[in-house]
Each structure stands twice: as structure tokens, then as C-alpha cells.
Amino acid sequence: ITREKVVMNPITAEVIENNIGYLQVMSFDEDCSVEFKQKYYELKNKGISSLIIDLRNNGGGLVQEALSIADYIIPKGKKLMITVNKKESEITTVAEEEPTIDIPIIVLVNENSASASEILVGALRENNCAKIVGTKTYGKGVIQEILKLTDGSALKLTTEEYFTPNKNKINRIGIE
């Protein structure tokens, strides 16, 4: 047995007909955005002219990973997400970098695309950076934190609700 880092949900990448790149993201695990960028450049070097990002059955994961992927595509300064905490304090997250991906994009979604997937989908759609294809998403528009307790157990606590850049509610609604 070789000791090495185990990647639980690797990103699948391939070139399909007509120079279309295909990236399947199963979840937004740690370093997912770095792997996404690497796989995109591998496809770009193979001459792709458009991209399909498959988020079907992606139940979410780390919000920052989804935002980092959005930052590769959405122009600097544009809204990515709005969060509101229980005290009604609102925070707007914006793209921090100039986009590195500038080809036509289609995002595939279904009823199991949730949470961080919906953050990425909402940001791409409302910034006119991708067409969304599929069925309505799950509708998990809340951010949760896991608090480890001294006895080894943990508590999952909902800390914020998030909205799309145009302040559309996702929780219990989904994205069409």
C-alpha cells in the first residue's frame, strides 16, 4: 500500500464531439477549485471551444470552492453571492480576479444539485456567464457550520442563508 492523499470525488474531464470540453464536478471538496482549473487547462490545450460543467447529483460541499470556480469565470467586481445572518447583516461576495475561462459554458443541473452547486449556478446564470440546462435544483440555500464538541460528537448549526447575486431566494425553492 502506498501512502498518499486520497481524492474522494475527483473531477472528470474529457473532450467530446465538436471540441466541447466536459467537466463533471461531483462535490466541492477541499482543493476542488484547483483541480477544476487544472482540468480546464488540460482541455483548453486540447483545443476546446466551449465547455459543459456537469453539476448533476452534486450535493454541495465547501462554499469557498464553488466561489473560487465562479471567480475563474465571472468578471472581477461582479456579485457572486449574498449572505444574510440571523441578525439580518448582509454580506455581498464579489469576484476578485479577472476571468481565466472565457468560452461559452453550459451547466447541467438536476433535482440533486444542491447547496454550493446552487451558489455556482446562481452566480453564473445571473452574471450571464452560462446557460443552465436541466431540472429545478434541490433548494438548499443555507450555510451550515460543524461545531466539534469536547466529547467527540459534533453539532451542525445553520448560520446564514444565501441568495443569488440578484438576491433571489434559493432555500426550499431551488433554481429553475
Q: Is 44 a catalytic residue?
A: no
Q: Of 27, 68, 115, 117, which one is the catalytic site residue?
A: 115
β-strands 105-109, 50-54: how paired? parallel
Q: Classify residue 65 as left (phi > 0), alpha (psi -120 to 50) or beta.
A: alpha
Phi, psi of 145 (to 5 degrees): -120, 150
Which residues make beta-bridge pairs with 24? 12, 54
Residue 159 CA, distance from chain mean position = 19
Instruction: Look up residue 143 and give its three cell numbers.
Output: 450555510
State the Cα–Cα distance between residues 81 and 95, nearest whole angstrom: 9
Phi, psi of 152 (to 5 degrees): 95, -15
Q: Of 39, 78, 79, 140, which one is the catalytic site residue?
A: 140
Residues carrying an active site annotation: 115, 140
